[in-house]
Amino acid sequence: MSNSELAELAKEITDNVQRCWKCRMCVEMCPTYEGWFTQSTAGRLMAINLYIKHGLGSEEDLSNMLYSCTTCRRCQERCRILSTDCSPADTILKARQYLVRKAELKGERNHEQIP
């Protein structure tokens, strides 16, 4: 995993989010939604997007949001039928891959520094 591969993955994610209209039709579909957008699909997507683009928020909070998704795809079906079909659930999965890879990359670097 290199920096450029990580950047590619990041672009794939932000491109998908770019296609999301923030119409929020997925929100009520999400089994983890309990009244706050961060507990829902659309909130997760907006968080990833601004984290990647501007480094907003902490990785821990982001991780907590991403891993509280059950990957049930109910949002994705909603988005496909009623909206843009921007693959929200798959994008959340990609964002998890992004976190893992970023962490692994950091780990490799640390390793290099300590002979």
Partner 1 sequence: MSKSLKDVIPVGHIYIKDNILEKDSLAGVSESKALWAKDLNLPKKAEYTFFAACGYQHMKYVEGMMGALKSASKMGMGMGKVVGISKAFGKVGVDLTGITAKITASKDDPYTPVLISAISVLRKLGLDVGYLHEEEPCCGSPMYYAGFEDDYAEHSRKNYEIFESFGVKKLIGLVPACTASLRDYYPKYIEGYDLEVQHVLEVVVQKLKKTGVKPKVKENVKVTYHDPCQLSRYLELTDEPREILKSIEGIELADLDPEQCGKWSTCCGGGGLEATHPELAERVGVRRVEELLETGASVIVSNCPACEMQLTKVTKKLNANVKVIDLVRLLDESLE
Partner 2 sequence: MGGSIISDLKKLVGKENASDNIYERISYGQDAAQPDLEPEKIPVAVVKPQSTRGVSEALKYANKNKIPIYIHGAGTAFKGSPKPKRPGSILLSTQGLTSIEEHEEDMYYELGAGVNLYKLEKLLLSRGYLLPMTIGSKFSSTIGGAVSINTVGHMVDICLGKIIDYVMGVEVVLPNGDIIETGTRSIRRPAGLDYTRFFVGAEGLFGVITKVRFRVIADRKKAYVVGFFPELTDVAHAFQRYYREKLPPPLYGEVLDKVAAEAPFRLRGLGEPKGHMALAITISYAQEEADREAQEMVRVFKSENAIDAHVVTSKREQTDYWDARDNILNILQASEGDEKLVMAGALESSVPLSHLDDVLVYLQTGHTYRALKEAKLFIYGHIGTCDLHGMWVAPVSMPQAERMQIAKEAVQLEGDVNLMWGCASGEVGQTASRMPFFKKRYGMAAHTMLMNVKKAIDPNNILNPGNLEGEGYE
Binding site for partner 1 (CB under 8 A): 1, 31-32, 34, 59-60, 63-64, 67-68, 70-74, 76-77, 93, 95-104, 106-108, 110-111
Q: Which does 41 bind (CB under 5 to 8 A by kind): ligand SF4, ligand FAD, partner 1, none?
A: ligand SF4
Whether the Cβ atoms of residue 25 and residue 37 lie closer than 8 Å to each other: no
Whether the Cβ atoms of residue 41 and residue 90 lie closer than 8 Å to each other: no
114 touching partner 2, by CB under 8 A? no
Nearer to partner 2, 21 or 67 (CB): 21
Q: Nearest 5 degrees, angle CA 111-CA 112-CA 113?
A: 90
Q: Measured in whole angstroms, how far is the alpha carbon of residue 27 from the centre of its chain?
A: 15
Nearer to partner 1, 54 or 111 (CB): 111
